[in-house]
Amino acid sequence: MIEKIPFLHRKKMYNIIVADDIELAALHHIIDELLDKGAFIPYDGGDPELFAMTHEGVCYTVGVDGTDIMVVIK
């Protein structure tokens, strides 16, 4: 089941949308990488930007739409 989960990271709230279980450490790692890449730009109504990421051997495809973060585990 796809869930939208509020998630606090470095005193900022994000909405995590994920269908599978994901470790908290992985979420923190993913958000830090997204911050480093400047992924959180104001939503312009277009398609979310997609990023390929890995954490501890697990591959993720991550979409960013404002403060919504969609995570798919490959």
- In tens, the pLDDT along 15-67 reads 999 988 899 999 999 999 999 999 987 767 777 789 999 999 999 999 998 88
What is the domain range of residue 68?
3-73
For the chain, the straight-line distance linking the first and the last C-alpha, in angstroms and rounded, comes to 16
What amino acid occupies position 73? I
- 34: tokens are 């997204």
- What domain count does the chain have? 1
- What is the pTM (predicted TM-score) of this model? 0.87
pLDDT for the residue 15: 95
